[in-house]
A and B are shown apart, each in its own frame.
Chain A
Amino acid sequence: MQSTPLPKNTVLGRFFEPPGIGKMSPGGKVIVYGVLFSWSAFVLFPLYWVVVTSLKLPIDVNAGPVYLPWVDFTPNLHAWRELLVTGLGKTMKPYFNSIVIALLSTSLCALIGSMAAYALVRIEYKPKFGTILLFVLAMVAMAVAVGVAGVDWRLAAAVAGAIFVLLARTLGRRFKRSVANGDILFWMISQRILPPVVTIIPVYMMFQNLRMLDTHAALILSYTVVNLPIVIWLMYDFFAAVPIELEESAQLDGASRLTIFFEIVLPLARAGLAATTLLVLILAWNEYVLALFLSTSKAQTMPILVAAMNAGEKGVLWWTMCVVIIIMIIPVILMALVLQRFIAKGVLTGAVKG
């Protein structure tokens, strides 16, 4: 399909004619900047409204819209004072919880995930198909025994584990078909498709059984599992891009695989690692559904605190909620700035490749 070029001699035609390659025509400029500024307005206005609302008295919010501080209402720091001075203890606890949970789960996730991703790039695994089937059957048997027959879970786990080991040892050699690295990678990544609501009820029961409900550990572990597929998915590509010659020469020098991983491969992939970490950190920091199920008071995180501002009969406490939303953005921006340095540097040192 040939699109007809605009006539060049008319004013309109000249308006859309680029002055040179790599430059924009005046008409193009109008459209491009129009789009950029209107989208910026669409993005920034809700944020502006949140900031302005945090400075309003309840009466300013409820009487109808006022837009500009000092112009049509007097800004007041009462909401900020309520959260950061008088109620500091009540705010700091979930804040601290969120920081601990997000940082620890992200570190754990980045460590476990990049190790697994690296292993899938460099080491060949061949688990037997039959062994996997046996293992799944053992888990089904254990779940039925615990759930339906009411057997103690420790006993069921021990028996199921023993039977599996016994059968795997005796039958293991007969199994022919095995699974390749690509299948393992697909299996791990596909865990992300799993909606959290499918697994959350049994996970809730598991933590209840271990008396771990409403603890940091429960949230850290479940966030780690939920974000693991993302780390493996992204890091797999970054590790695959690391030249194998470097590792081979280190291996000749007698370095162990762990040394190679931590001292050669990981530093080379740090730009990717930083970007991945940032993404996972944001996801863990803002996570809501799992926290809703697994935490009630002691391990309550910030998103739950935001949701809790909907205080029943008094309606939503918009002003304090806006303060919470704002103070929740600050650590994310700080982390983004810290990690941004690695990302930029990594891109520069990415020239190592050649």
Chain B
Amino acid sequence: MPSVFSEWLDRQSRHLFIMPAVIMILVFSIFPLIASAILALSRVRLRAGGYKVTFVGFANFKKQIFGSEQFHFLGTFGSISLLAWAFTIAVGALLIWWLLRYLRGPVWWLGLIGRLIAAAVLFGIAFMFAATLLSGTQIGTLGVTLFYVFVGCTVQFAIGLGLAVVCAQPIRGRTFFRVVFFLPLMITPIGIGYAFRMLADTTKGPFAPLWQMVGLGDYAWVTSPWAARFFIIVADSWQWIPFIFVVLLAALENVPRDMVEAGHVDGASHSQIFREITWPQIAPVAATVILIRVIEAFKLVDLPNIMTAGGPGIATESMTLHAFFAWRAPDLGQSAAISYLLLFVTVVLCVSFFNLVILKHRSAQG
């Protein structure tokens, strides 16, 4: 009996190995993804013991992009300044040049469609920033999310790389510094949010005397949009720089020592060695770590929720938080529509990054 069973098990093993993962993903992410699409196209009303779902087409998306929720999602559109028009036209021209350059080489239809979508999304984002930020009006949750992603990830990568380079030097107390630098990753993001709220307090926080000295004693971070956004990036960086640091340090330590030493013997300067020897070796890992970080940054929700509750007004509200507030309202259709918009922007930007940076790099290497 056991041998019959084990024989059967062995014959089925090719399915047995992969099916649990496939089924889990199908049930808990693909099916909900489809259901969420249906919700995004409907008006959902709570009803005793269930929901009433009415199909409304693209009304939810329309409301976010053109309708009464536009200020919340894209920002407040006022009169568009001359600078903003110039910026939009410049970005448009750049994108058209990029597409034309691609069309001159061998064209693959899927690549062309992907590039067209990416260009359209980038142009839309550029126009949105031009019409809000450059025209002096409030940006919406899309702009805030992109701000967290791009500014946050750039700062984190720059500092993380710097620390990794420093830690890869022959230093004393290497283990101590590594453990200390790794610590923030172990702390719950909620705790980090609250800890930074304490630190930012200008009357009771540890830096209160300092603020009073420079005459900012009554200044509250949470009432100024840019200060609040900046502060959330500081907390986010505190938590995530360790991750970039650990991965890049491992990559730096895999760079063959004899190559670096040969460079020294040949009289190359530190910056030359980094540019010519070290960077090409760690670039693939660096690109991957940036991609992982960007993916996670798009999902940022706990820090804004804890530190500012999205305030002042909607100034620090990320798109996930926006969708969460809509869910709590409760307006499930709007919430699903916002999450779909987030998914769309995330996928277009991440896939473009993957195809245009990581794959290009790999094909150039081998």
Contacts and interface: CB of A to CB of B under 8 A. Distances in A.
Contacts of B223: none
A150 B53 CA distance: 9
Interface string A296-324: 00000011001101000000101001001
Interface stretch (A32-40, A75-83, A172-180): A32-40
Interface in B3-61: 6, 9-10, 13-14, 16-18, 20-22, 24-26, 28-36, 38-39, 42, 51, 53, 55
A321 B306 CA distance: 13
Contact of A258 (B9, B166, B181): B9
Contacts of A332: 186
B187 interface: yes
A266 interface: no
Interface majority SS on A: helix, strand, loop or mixed? Answer: helix
Given A147-B35, A222-B28, A197 B339 contact: yes
Interface stretch (A7-15, A58-66, A86-94, A241-249): A58-66
A285 B53 CA distance: 35
A201 B295 contact: no
A317 to B, nearest CB: 10
B206 interface: yes
B25 A191 contact: yes
A132 B10 CA distance: 25
Nearest to B39: A201
Contacts of A203: 28, 32
Interface stretch (B99-107, B110-118, B191-199): B191-199
Interface in A136-150: 136, 139-140, 142-144, 146-148, 150
A71 interface: no
Given A43-B181, A115-B20, A191-B29, A50 B265 contact: no
Interface of A: 3, 5, 21-24, 28, 32-33, 35-36, 39-40, 42-47, 49-50, 53, 61-65, 67, 112-113, 115-116, 118-120, 123, 125, 136, 139-140, 142-144, 146-148, 150, 184, 188, 191-203, 205-206, 221-222, 224-225, 228, 232, 256-258, 261, 282, 285-286, 288-289, 292-293, 302-303, 306-307, 309, 316, 318, 321, 324-325, 328-329, 332-333, 336
Interface residues of B, number: 90
B133 interface: no
Contact of A225 (B28, B167, B299): B28
12 contacts: A49-B206, A147-B35, A195-B346, A196-B299, A198-B32, A199-B28, A206-B32, A225-B25, A256-B6, A257-B14, A288-B190, A289-B324
A124 to B, nearest CB: 9
Most A CB atoms within 10 A — which of B22, B169, B185, B302? Answer: B169
Contacts of A143: 31, 34-35, 38
Contacts of A146: 35
Contact of A282 (B24, B185, B209, B302): B185
B347 interface: yes
B33 A199 contact: yes
A259 B300 CA distance: 42
B264 A21 contact: yes
A328 B191 contact: yes
Contacts of B163: 35, 39
Nearest to B265: A21
Nearest to B205: A65
Given A125-B18, A197-B320, 11 more contacts: A45-B199, A115-B16, A119-B17, A139-B30, A144-B38, A195-B319, A197-B323, A201-B36, A256-B6, A288-B188, A288-B189
A329 B33 contact: no
B342 interface: yes
6 smallest CB-CB distances across A and B, nearest first, come from: A119-B17, A116-B21, A202-B35, A202-B32, A199-B32, A325-B191
